[in-house]
Chains A and B, each alone.
Chain A
Amino acid sequence: MTTTTRIERHHYDVVVIGAGGAGLRAAIEARLAGKKTAIISKSLFGKAHTVMAEGGAAAAMGNVNSRDNWQVHFRDTMRGGKFLNNFRMAELHAKESPHRIWELETYGALFDRTKDGKISQRNFGGHEYPRLAHVGDRTGLELIRTLQQKIVSLQQEDKRDHGDYEARIKVFAETTITELLLDGDRVAGAFGYYRESGEFILLEAPAVVLATGGVGRSYKVTSNSWEYTGDGHALALRAGATLINMEFLQFHPTGMVWPPSVKGILVTESVRGDGGVLKNSDGKRFMFDYVPDVFRKQYAETEEEADRWYTDPDNNRRPPELLPRDEVARAINSEVKAGRGTPAGGVYLDIASRRSAEEIRRRLPSMYHQFKELADVDITKEPMEVGPTCHYVMGGVEVDPDSGAAYGHVRGLFAAGEVSGGMHGSNRLGGNSLSDLLVFGKRAGGHAASYADQLTSRPTIAVGAVEAAVETALAPLQRDTGENPYTLQQDLQAVMGDLVGIIRREGELADALVRLTELRERVAKVSAAGGRRYNPGWHLALDLRNMLVVSECTAKAALERQESRGGHTREDYPAMDPKWRQVNLVCSLDGDAVRLTHKPLPTMRGELISLFDRTELSKYLTDEELADFDALVAHAEEAGK
């Protein structure tokens, strides 16, 4: 059977799996470094999930408030991630994101402007100064289109120089990778199928960049598209790499909960940045009751002060609606649980009564347009019904911060964007993902190219591995006794949504692991009706095993971490524990089983930790770490004298 299967073979220097912001940026870099580059896109070229990002891209350019700089951005990022971030990634991100944004302008991006013609920057939850470069509320689309068009322009250069658009960079649209193939511990290529025809494809390449995004399709209420099935996470695990921080999932606080046509769709934080407030069913603006101690200093205590902030941010503290996302999500959850929610199980987000219809339409055009057309909800007239929706996974492939090279026992594997872990710690700030894509996409692409350069021999692919991959891929089509993949996905979503959701408990997590084990057996026997040609049931059947293994990582890590921090809330351990801040939970694959180990976090360099004041640090650090900090400060003062 397998010997007669046709497999299309290609040779590349760098294969980038994923065609969102990180993937395209990585591919551009690899191509600019002279490498023959392939981009694998699960959807059509330019349809990536990145288009959903509305708010903007955070970069400390200081265009709107000149006091902003990379140190402040770094501080905000660490604070948002509750100090669990890989500090080096946060540092690189804060330093390099302005350059990545400016670079986009040379590719043709058109950001909104300030009065003096610079890139405008807007306020966003968790950012001290207006920092998000934006284009109305469709910044993600602008970013994708710009990178897409840059790739086209590189192809035009190649056409001019080599007579072929695809001489040095080719997009494989609607193609899914199911396996990475190895030569010993080195990446040797990737195997997958064209969704259109169901034909198989084998890409031989010494370097692979994973940029596959997140895992949200394992949840019932999610803002994520069908592509977000944790492919990259699972491919990395199976290739011998490790995942970190998988217990941290961001639930966007304000997803629509009603009507069903827009369920899960995000209401951008800009609605709150531009004056929208959260109210419970009693009409009370409840966020003032939920400001945690660590943030008390930066947030307003009265509605009057909060309302003054919109026009005079220098002399007033911010409204509590702009607290980091996890805080807002938790607050909404508490209100709903206390019986003060809307009929659909959310709360009201009201901008209609606070800004004029004209202003709302001007400042939030696509938000207005989207809800008007999708759900016939007029946000200038009525409040929206919102609640937490699964939005982003902080966890991902454990990488070297500078190069994006995966840790574990595999070489030639790189990761960037949502599929990589560490950068955002336990919680991501809004706006940091778009800049993350650019900064680490470029780095991963560049380092993958230099890795390919320094190889003395090309790795080769074993025939047996390809045959095994073909067999695994065809299996669901050849079985007719198993279950429907859609049923299995719904069951998986129910387990994850109900038991490993926003608020977690030990008993439920243990229960989830049992159910996931049962699901694993059912998924192994899944069968898909129909043929190989554009068969979504078959595609889902193949994605399921990725979703399953990633869900196991999340459930295991969530059970292990006995504290609440950022995107991980344990009802039985409601407080943050400084001891747990020193630990990353690392997942790897041992045969088929997920293995979990503890790994200490790297220690922040002196000049970086000195950016924080002691009172703030005391909320995160252990006594020993604080003593080290005091010694550092004393030493610096002495040196200063």
Chain B
Amino acid sequence: MGTKRQFRIWRGDESGGDLQDYTVEVNEGEVVLDVIHRLQATDAPDLACRWNCKAGKCGSCSMEINGMPRLGCMTRMSTFGETDTVTVTPLRTFPIIRDLVTDVSFNYEKARETPAFAPPEDVAPGDYRMQQVDVERSQEFRKCIECFLCQNTCHVIRDHEENKHAFAGPRYFIRAAELDMHPLDTKTDRKEYAQAEQGLGLCNITKCCTEVCPEHIKITDNGIIPMKERVVDRRYDPLVWLGSKIFRRGQVPQTSVTSGRSSGPVHASAGHGGVHSHAGGSHDPRAEVQTQSGVNWHREVPHPTAPAVDDRGRLPLTELTFDRAAAPSPFGDDVTFPLPPEHLNFAHPTQDEQQH
């Protein structure tokens, strides 16, 4: 009842391999993973391919289909033309084990380096109280199924093995963001950590990760940019800069001014500067209280897009080398003005009261 279709699948191991041609039966309503399973049961019983749920929920069957990083179980055959050849290759960013299976241990190493949830010590289990609106920001990131397509597609490490050491990748930026936005997490330097240890500064917001995310997590807009934004905020804050000149180191509310590439990262949030960043990430506790009174920080607010900066806090691109006239917009090239009202980071005080 099915039709015959052409497939080209990369077969091989770390010593090399090539694309092999298969003609295989495809039935109505099938996905690429169904076809790979049929190949295993017929022509290629030892074709290596990871999979588990075949329902888009576990993130195992990551592969590159016609060059696009995708889940095999979520790529319908009906999206290709009857005569199209479907080319399936392994994830390019990770070392090959065999056929479509790659060594993704890089991701698990980065996961281990990301500081875990720090529970409040004075709240007993069962006494955690959080508002739905406050947990939703983190919940978006917790939808992540760890398919590592974002890691695979990120051009900082795709074809740049040398960056892997200093760069945790989008998956772990949203992990840091998720914890940063967790209403009860007590660790206060998630952003600074992301900048200093995870190599957040290397990301220049091309949004490739967001594009390939099968869970449609807005990795860049909702995760990476808010994490970058406040870090940049503090770096550029002239008072902080002045303070760092006047006070001895350790007395100032210290902020991180080093990127992952520098040799001696400065650990942030020393001393009294460690204000929990949900309330706005300001370095000054008093200013923070004031800010809070007028602004409803519990709303899910898209943050202004901030540009990537180098380890001196400067934009990495000059007008001379940039691909268009003038420098990139400091708000991000995808932001148009005026911003729609619902994107403005302001809520009327009375509205704020109603909520509490």
B40 touches A486 (CB 8 A): yes
Whether A569 sits at the interface, judged by CB under 8 Å, is no
Whole-angstrom CA separation of A410 from B30 in the bound complex = 46
CB closest chain-B residue, reference A116: B129
B78 touches A376 (CB 8 A): yes
A44 touches B60 (CB 8 A): yes
Whether A273 sits at the interface, judged by CB under 8 Å, is no
Whether A370 sits at the interface, judged by CB under 8 Å, is yes
Contacts of A261 in B (CB 8 A): 29-31, 34, 73, 76
Contacts of B56 in A (CB 8 A): 369-370, 373-374
A51 touches B112 (CB 8 A): no
B50 touches A106 (CB 8 A): no
Whole-angstrom CA separation of A484 from B38 in the bound complex = 13
Contact of B52 (CB < 8 Å), options: A111, A138, A227, A262: A227
Whole-angstrom CA separation of A260 from B30 in the bound complex = 6
A155 touches B112 (CB 8 A): yes
Which segment, of B98-106, B154-162, B280-288, B296-304, faces chain A?
B98-106
Which segment, of A23-31, A145-153, A330-338, faces chain B?
A145-153
Whole-angstrom CA separation of A98 from B300 in the bound complex = 30
Whether A418 sits at the interface, judged by CB under 8 Å, is no
Contacts of A530 in B (CB 8 A): 45-46
Whether A105 sits at the interface, judged by CB under 8 Å, is yes
Whole-angstrom CA separation of A149 from B108 in the bound complex = 11
B27 touches A113 (CB 8 A): no
Which segment, of B142-150, B191-199, B307-315, B326-334, faces chain A?
B142-150
B78 touches A117 (CB 8 A): no
B130 touches A113 (CB 8 A): yes
**Beta-carbon contacts under 8 Å, B23-77 to A:** 27-31, 34, 40-41, 45-60, 73-74, 76
Whether B240 sits at the interface, judged by CB under 8 Å, is no
Whether A471 sits at the interface, judged by CB under 8 Å, is no
**Beta-carbon contacts under 8 Å, B1-15 to A:** 13
**Known: A135-B139, A227-B52. Is A374-B73 also a contact (CB below 8 A)?**
yes
B104 touches A44 (CB 8 A): yes
Contacts of B73 in A (CB 8 A): 261, 374
Contacts of A44 in B (CB 8 A): 50, 60, 104
Which segment, of B114-122, B248-256, B260-268, faces chain A?
B114-122
A196 touches B101 (CB 8 A): yes
A533 touches B182 (CB 8 A): no
Contacts of B104 in A (CB 8 A): 44
**Known: A52-B57, A196-B97. Is A152-B49 also a contact (CB below 8 A)?**
no
CB closest chain-A residue, reference B99: A534
* A contact residues, total (Cβ < 8 Å): 73
Whole-angstrom CA separation of A122 from B111 in the bound complex = 32
Whether A298 sits at the interface, judged by CB under 8 Å, is no
- Contact digits for A78-99, partner B, Cβ 8 Å, 1 yes 0 no: 0000000000000000000011
Contacts of A107 in B (CB 8 A): 117, 119
Whether B128 sits at the interface, judged by CB under 8 Å, is yes
Which segment, of A64-72, A504-512, A535-543, faces chain B?
A535-543
B112 touches A534 (CB 8 A): no
- Contact digits for A49-61, partner B, Cβ 8 Å, 1 yes 0 no: 1011000000001
Whether B166 sits at the interface, judged by CB under 8 Å, is no
**Cβ distance A115 to chain B, nearest Cβ, rounded Å:** 8
Whole-angstrom CA separation of A116 from B131 in the bound complex = 7
**Beta-carbon contacts under 8 Å, A141-175 to B:** 141-142, 145, 149-150, 152-153, 155-156, 159, 165, 173
Contact of B129 (CB < 8 Å), options: A106, A118, A138: A118
Whether B151 sits at the interface, judged by CB under 8 Å, is no
B29 touches A536 (CB 8 A): no
Contact of B116 (CB < 8 Å), options: A49, A105, A108: A108
Contacts of B103 in A (CB 8 A): 196
A117 touches B130 (CB 8 A): yes
Whether A339 sits at the interface, judged by CB under 8 Å, is no
Whole-angstrom CA separation of A61 from B127 in the bound complex = 12
Contact of B101 (CB < 8 Å), options: A142, A226, A534: A534
**Cβ distance B43 to chain A, nearest Cβ, rounded Å:** 11
Q: Which residues of A contact B (CB under 8 A)?
A: 43-49, 51-52, 61, 98-99, 102-103, 105-108, 110-113, 116-118, 120, 135-136, 138, 141-142, 145, 149-150, 152-153, 155-156, 159, 165, 173, 196, 225-227, 258-262, 265, 366, 369-370, 373-376, 484-487, 490, 528-531, 533-538
What are 21 inter-chain pairs, A to B, with CB distance below 8 A? A44-B60, A47-B60, A106-B119, A117-B129, A117-B130, A135-B142, A141-B142, A145-B142, A152-B112, A153-B116, A155-B112, A156-B115, A156-B116, A226-B52, A258-B29, A259-B29, A261-B31, A373-B74, A373-B214, A486-B40, A537-B45
Task: Given contacts A108-B116, A113-B135, A487-B41, list 17 more A-B pairs with CB under 8 A.
Answer: A47-B59, A106-B119, A108-B179, A110-B139, A112-B135, A141-B57, A152-B111, A156-B112, A226-B51, A259-B29, A260-B34, A484-B45, A486-B40, A533-B97, A533-B98, A536-B46, A536-B48
